[in-house]
Amino acid sequence: MKRTPKKAQRLKRKMCGISGVLTFNNRVPSPQIKQNITKMTARIRHRGPDGEGVWSDDCAGLGHTRLAIVDLSEHGAQPMIDEGKSGRVLTFNGEIYNHVELRHQLEALGHIFKGHCDTEVILRGYTQWGPKVLSRLRGMFAFAIWDPKARELFMVRDRMGQKPFFYSFCEDAFVFASEIKSLLAWPSIKRLPDYQAIDGYLSFGYTLGIKTGFENIHRLGAGQSMVVKSDGTFHINTYWAPPAPKSQSTGKPQDWINEFTHLLNESIRLRKVADVEVGAFLSGGVDSSAVCALLSKQNDARLSTFSVGFAREGYDETDAALSVATHLKTKHHSYTKDDRLLKDLTKIVWHYDMPYADSSALVSYGLSADIKKNVTVALSGDGADELLLGYPRYERLEALERENGPHDTPLNRRRLSPFPERKPDLLDAYVYSLEKFRERQKMASYEHRLLSTLKHPFSQSLRARFDLRDGAQLAAARLDLSSYLVDDILVKMDIASMAHGLEVRSPFLDHHLVEWVCQLPKHCRTLNQSPKALLKEAISPYLPNGITDRAKMGFRVPVGQWLKKELYDLAKKLLLEDERFAARGLLRPQFVAEMMDAHCQGVEEHGSRLWALLMLELWFRTFIDRDGSQPLDDAFVYN
């Protein structure tokens, strides 16, 4: 085989898809293990179109699809086998940004490397340090290591939850994969809805925590590792969590600005390494503008930047992105989307696997396809709002805290009237600001499948993660860091980008930067001025005047308008006329009909709720009514 040039072997970067199985009590013949793993791996080929690999023995199997960014040599092929005494086998999705440093440490300890990829560093590192290798890894990753001597699988998901990891225990095996559709290729997996998860989905528009919408299919949490033995026993360990804020700060504002700038610059430097061109998302907001500004400053060549708008008034901020791009002298690409995004609706439902109703996924999906035509790697600004208190809802919550104290607010007294035995508090107020279906709407609409979820308001499930000791803003931001960011924003970007073989890197989510920021008291992050003031002060010298003062907008699509016109017939057909939706026993059909009528007549806005129901029904038809092996065709949707 032709060897890759030395430059390409120097550093390996790739994004991939992984899959695997551990069978119990020799219940699955070896040839069947390999056959099924091959099918599982094929379902996520879009995550790694540059190559596939499958490995199996008498009780375990691992699969891998590869998107090559650097080092195309055979030394990076996966699953990777340790040819030494251990015989361990690794399948890995992600990037270890400090793998060169770790390689040098391991070489000093006597390890000999065959190639130059980060995959081999993980395998050798696990041999040297065992699970403690996790504390040394800097990057985003999900991987599994099969130890044939110990007869156990060791699995892990990165600290911030950037890379997905799904798993299930079924009657004959434990299976895992980067996407649920891969798990569903294992013959004994059952496709059953999880109604508790669906209740959470109707609250927020995405599936929270370890839940996926399927019974007996779960997610490994961010910062968690898992060991499963061949007898079916297992345990899960949390190896990392963001630190709590310190009670007091040291230093002066300029010291904080300097340290933040240093950490962000270092994070960007690590994430720009590739033997292909690295571009960047540029929305025109301060987060992506900051990444583009610092990346441009580090780059020798002109940076390629990418923005997107929607062809309706009030849904386009490409002018701001162009202003930043012109100032930074980037090679800028601006795209305009329109109602044609809807043609990808069934594909998007299939790609996301779980009930998922963040409508901006349509834009992210379309933009990722456009970016992939130009570059294979792009940096994003995800994570800055949660870390640096950028969402306006944080300030509104703090205002409630000042006015009413941490518990009783007029807002909550209205909302929680069905639960007079509970004293409402700021968590209820915060959840209220995020909800799609209110508790009162659930009370009025839920059918028998969902009635059992109404014993307690949904906010109760989040109480353990809402700590008010450092004030309302930090409590909300910390909750978002472990829920909204990991379960919505990062899911959206991972699926949208990997559907097109695009790798996205997020400098704000470097765990060194996250740990430093999370320990800062609130006034250090805002400099006692405004949301994200720390970032704005650090980056303002590199950006045009006015950019750091722009109100946050974000990607939006006009789902409310669509449901009155372009999507009206489809929503009416699937939610009202077809008997399947009513037969699912989720919501009273009359309530849905009244909601749609009120929305279309302009009496009350229900766009986000109707969109959530439409996406849920399409999910049922794709993954519960059918086997999820492919997106719905138009004939099945409309007939």
Active site residues: 16
Distance of CA 509 to the CA centre of its chain: 12
- Within 8 A by CB and 6+ apart from 413, the residues are 424
Collapsed DSSP state (helix, strand, coil) of residue 58: coil
Kind and range of the H or E run holding 351: helix 345-352
For strands 377-379 and 503-505, give the pairing. parallel
Interatomic CA distance for residues 178 and 93, integer angstroms: 8
SS (H, E, C) 135-153: HHCCEEEEEEEEECCCCEE
Interatomic CA distance for residues 22 and 28, integer angstroms: 10
DSSP class of residue 214 equals B
Under a CB-based contact definition with an 8 Å cutoff, are residues 555 and 363 in contact? Answer: yes
DSSP 509-528: G-HHHHHHHHTS-HHHHHTT
* Lateral strand order in the sheet of 166-169: 52-56, 60-68, 14-23, 173-177, 166-169, 218-219
- Within 8 A by CB and 6+ apart from 551, the residues are none
Question: What's the one-letter identity of residue 117?
Answer: C
Beta-bridged to residue 193, according to DSSP, are: 214
- Torsional sign, CA 194, 200, 205, 210: negative
In 3D space, the residue among 141, 79, 20 whose CA is nearest the CA of residue 494 turns out to be 141
DSSP 288-324: HHHHHHHHHHH-SSPPEEEEEEESSTTS--HHHHHHH
- Rg, the chain, Cα only: 24
In 3D space, the residue among 74, 53, 67, 79 whose CA is nearest the CA of residue 2 turns out to be 74
In 3D space, the residue among 635, 639, 619, 633 whose CA is nearest the CA of residue 181 turns out to be 619
Collapsed DSSP state (helix, strand, coil) of residue 233: coil
In 3D space, the residue among 238, 287, 268 whose CA is nearest the CA of residue 97 turns out to be 268
